[in-house]
Amino acid sequence: MKIAVIIKQTPDTETVVKINDAGNDIVGTGVKYVMSPYCEFAVEEALRTKEKLGGEVVVVSLGPDRVLETIRTALAMGCDRAIHLKDPAYEGGDGQATAKALAAALKTVSPDIVFAGKQAIDGDQSQVAVRVAELAGLAQATIVTALEIAADGKTAKATRRSEGGGEVVELKLPALISCEKGLNEPRYASLPGIMKAKKKEVKELKPAELGLEGQVGAAGAKAKRVKLLPLAERKAGRRIEAETPEAAAAELVRLLREEAKVL
Amino acid sequence: MDYFTPEQHTFMKTVRDFFEKEVNPHVEEWENQGIFPAHQVFKRCGELGLFGITYDPKYGGSGLDYWWTAAYAEAMGGSCNCSGIPMAIMVQSDMCTPALHDFGSEELKEQFLAPSIKGEMVGAIGVTEPAAGSDVFGIQTTARRDGDHYVINGRKIFITNGTQADYVTTLVKTDKDAAHHGFTLIVVPTKTPGFSVARKLDKVGNLSSDTAELVYDDVRVPVANRIGDEGLGFIYQMRQFQKERMVAAFGAVAGARKALDATVAYLKQREAFGKPLIAKQYIQFKLAELSTQIELARQLNYHCARMIAAGEDCVRETSMAKLASCRLSREVADRGVQFHGGYGYMNEYPISRYRRDSRLGSIGGGADEVMMYIIAKLENYAA
């Protein structure tokens, strides 16, 4: 089985990010980057699929030099080889431009199944995975929390999370699965795994090698981010003053119902 | 300036993730029980590669340089919510196995080192005795040669992993008339007849780690279980102590930083006299002093790592690093408790556990006074 997994490097959730002077991006210096957590589920599911059905897992990621560290992490977890889309021309793209590049890179792999995170935790657009499936002509199931692939590798049954419930879909392979929390518990990169990852192949592909010159990155983008808005300052808490605990509780319930409207 | 490579950072993240997701959720329970399931936890440590970082790949190690050990000890000390479990793990990685790796026979390494690296065996180091701690010369446990066996008699105390260990790397006297050359290191399987756990000790801190007093009563062990040569045990153990002291120093500094961070977080949210406590300049200055000292100790530890990685002799620096780091962790702990006020005296606050646990650093693995003795001797301070 040919298995591919698309991953994205994002700022660590614990990093405090600052908006740049131009107001349209974050300040990159001092930011700690990690694999986007939903991509970790995708890598884990790719590895489990390989362990069950055999084959090879190819990691595909787009981004600058620093992305190599995240690619190495995926290789250390057990993926076999990687494709790194690294070129200044890839920078500044939107979901469509990025998906175009990734779909073209996947074509060089001809995967039976592709795993991706349901969204990246930085842009939160949930665009890339679905666009890749569309551009690559793959069936797709998004926000997947459980997956069963038939032993013959021809079909899969995916459980999707939806608001308040779920849905089970059957897919014909080749397909793309976008992964949601709960699908699995990602493994860590073991020290022996980290050592082995050093020797695994990471192939760089330029836009020209994909036949996409002038169509990726900012040049291929249909949407452009013009502004980032900072999080609203958190309002100070409010102290409930009352004669008795009972009265305080009653007041709290009233505020939660009438003002916060959460009850 | 980053001292670690991207790969080492990946490894440190693995160590942190492991402790935060698989160990910390059980710490309360294990601290209350006075023991943690060493075989279960060590199996996972073995899978992640924590036990054979610098060891020969032939036995399942990773064959890496000392910076990887530094990365491991720092990540572990900075993420685990207690000191007992990291200590138990470091006993296996850097205290009861270095001499076995460096001087043990092939058979002995196949039998004990390889399964220790895999995490399938739990080891302990038996040096200290009821009547001999810092004075290693004073140990009285003996091994008498009887054909192709040693017969061991004596007692060992304060032995980490003591109630759960599969083997104890034991320092014994093989020649009572010889001084330095009268000692031998022997790997003693705990299932050998005559070996028993006298009692599990009731400690002040590091509660999740089991500590025991061990009895050797005519314990017959094959001569093949001897590490290296007879009579060189003391010298092997002194080398082995260097590894022990260095991981203790890295762990202490990382723990001190974690405790200081926790104290700062508390001071930011705790209000007194209408403002968060952290607004007080006295408190800010104390924190600044401690933070500076932590950074100083950390840099000395990195200096040691550089020397060890370069293969230089650094007994002087290692002794200083252990002395400084472990003393500092006590200071940070005490100050942290003070700044937490009444809450710092409550067991439910992590700073309280840290204060209990950190006290051991200046006693175990060579007390502060032993470090000072070594430093004074190397600096030629004797009259």
- The predicted-structure confidence for A8-46, as pLDDT tens digits, reads as follows 999 988 888 889 998 888 888 888 899 999 999 999 999
A229 lies in some domain = no
For residue B2, pLDDT beyond 90: no
Q: Which domain holds residue A148?
A: 2-220
Locus of tokens 């094959």: B222
Q: How is chain B split into domains, by residue range?
A: 6-118, 123-230, 235-378
Give Cα B148 distance to the centre of its chain: 33
b/e per residue B356-372 (b: at least 16 CB within 10 A): bbbbbbbebbbbbebbe
A87 half-sphere exposure, CB direction, 13 A CA radius: 22
Reported ipTM: the value is 0.87
Q: Are B81 and B126 in contact (CB under 8 A)?
A: no
Average pLDDT over residues A201-225: 94
Identify whether A226 is part of a domain: no
- Measured CA to CA, the distance from residue B343 to residue B337 in angstroms comes to 8
Domain membership of residue A230 (yes or no) is: no
How far, in Å, are A97, A144, B140, B181, B290 from residue A136 at the CA level? 13, 19, 75, 73, 57
> Would the CB atoms of B48 and A190 count as touching at under 8 Å?
yes
Backbone angles phi, psi at A107, to 5 degrees: -60, -35
Residue A185 sits in the same domain as residue A258 = no
**Residues A49 and A153 grouped into a single domain:** yes
Which of B26-30, B49-53, B136-140, B157-161 is the least confident region? B136-140
What are the tokens at B101? 């790796």
Structural tokens at position B185? 């290191």
- Report yes or no on A213 lying in a domain: yes
Residue B358 CB-half CA count within 13 A: 34
Whole-angstrom CA distances from A229 to A91, A233, A253 are 21, 12, 33
* Whether A190 contacts A153, CB under 8 Å: no
> For B235-378, CATH number?
1.20.140.10
Collect all residues with Cβ–Cβ distance below 8 Å to A261 and sequence separation of at least 6.
none
CA distances from B57 to B105, B249, B309 (A): 16, 26, 18
How many domains would you assign to chain A?
A: 2
pLDDT of residue A200: 97
Nearest to B18 among A188, A193, A197 (CB): A188
| Residue A212 and residue A240 share a domain | no
Tokens of A120: 């990246």
- Is A225 inside a domain boundary? no
Output the domain CATH number for residue A17: 3.40.50.620
Residue A48: inside a domain: yes
If asked whether residues A151 and A247 sit together in one domain, one would say: no
Report pLDDT digits (tens) over B181-228.
999 999 999 999 999 999 999 999 999 999 999 999 999 999 999 999
φ and ψ of A231, to 5 deg: -60, 145
Among A69, A73, A192, beta carbon nearest to B49: A192
Nearest to A159 by CA among A147, A177, A174, A176: A147
- For residue B70, the 8-state DSSP code is H
Q: Closest residue of A to B14, CA-based?
A: A188
- The answer to whether residues A125 and A254 belong to one domain is no
Cβ–Cβ contact B68 with A under 8 A:
yes
pLDDT at residue B383 greater than cutoff 80: no
Residues A69, B9: C-beta atoms closer than 8 Å: yes
Considering the four listed CATH numbers 1.10.540.10, 3.40.1000.10, 3.40.50.10320, 3.40.50.300, the one that applies to the domain covering B6-118 is 1.10.540.10
Give me the active site residues of B, please.
Answer: 244
Instruction: For A62-111, write each residue's pLDDT tens digit.
Output: 999 999 999 999 999 999 999 999 999 999 999 999 999 999 999 999 99
Q: Which residues of B touch A73 (CB under 8 A)?
A: 10, 13
Mean pLDDT of B71-80: 98
3-state secondary structure chain A: CEEEEEECEEECCCCCCCECCCCCCECCCCCCEEECHHHHHHHHHHHHHHHHHCCEEEEEEECCCCHHHHHHHHHHHCCCEEEEECCHHHCCCCHHHHHHHHHHHHHCCCCCEEEEECCCCCCCCCCHHHHHHHHCCCEEEEEEEEEEECCCCCEEEEEEEECCEEEEEEEECCEEEEECCCCCCCCCCCHHHHHHHCCCCEEECCHHHHCCCCCCHHHHCCCCCCCCCCCCCCCCCCCCCCCCHHHHHHHHHHHHHHCCCCC
Which residue is listed with tokens 């104390």? Answer: B286
Residue A52 located in a structural domain: yes
Q: A188, B62: Cβ pair inside 8 Å?
A: no
A6 is a domain residue: yes
Cβ–Cβ contact B51 with A under 8 A:
no
Using CA atoms, how far apart are residues B71 and B86, in angstroms rounded to an integer?
14
Residues A162 and A253 in one domain: no
Is the domain of A21 the same as that of A115?
yes
Are residues A81 and A121 both part of a single domain?
Answer: yes
Top CATH class, B123-230:
mainly beta
Nearest residue of A to residue B69, measured between CA atoms = A191
Residues A184 and A64 in one domain: yes
Per the prediction, chain B carries an average pLDDT of 96
Nearest-angstrom CA–CA distance, B30 and B282: 37
Beta strands in B50-164 (DSSP E): 123-126, 142-146, 149-160
Q: Give the model confidence (pLDDT) of A126-178 as tens digits.
A: 999 999 999 999 999 999 999 999 999 999 999 999 888 899 999 999 999 99
Q: What average pLDDT does range B373-383 have in this prediction?
A: 93
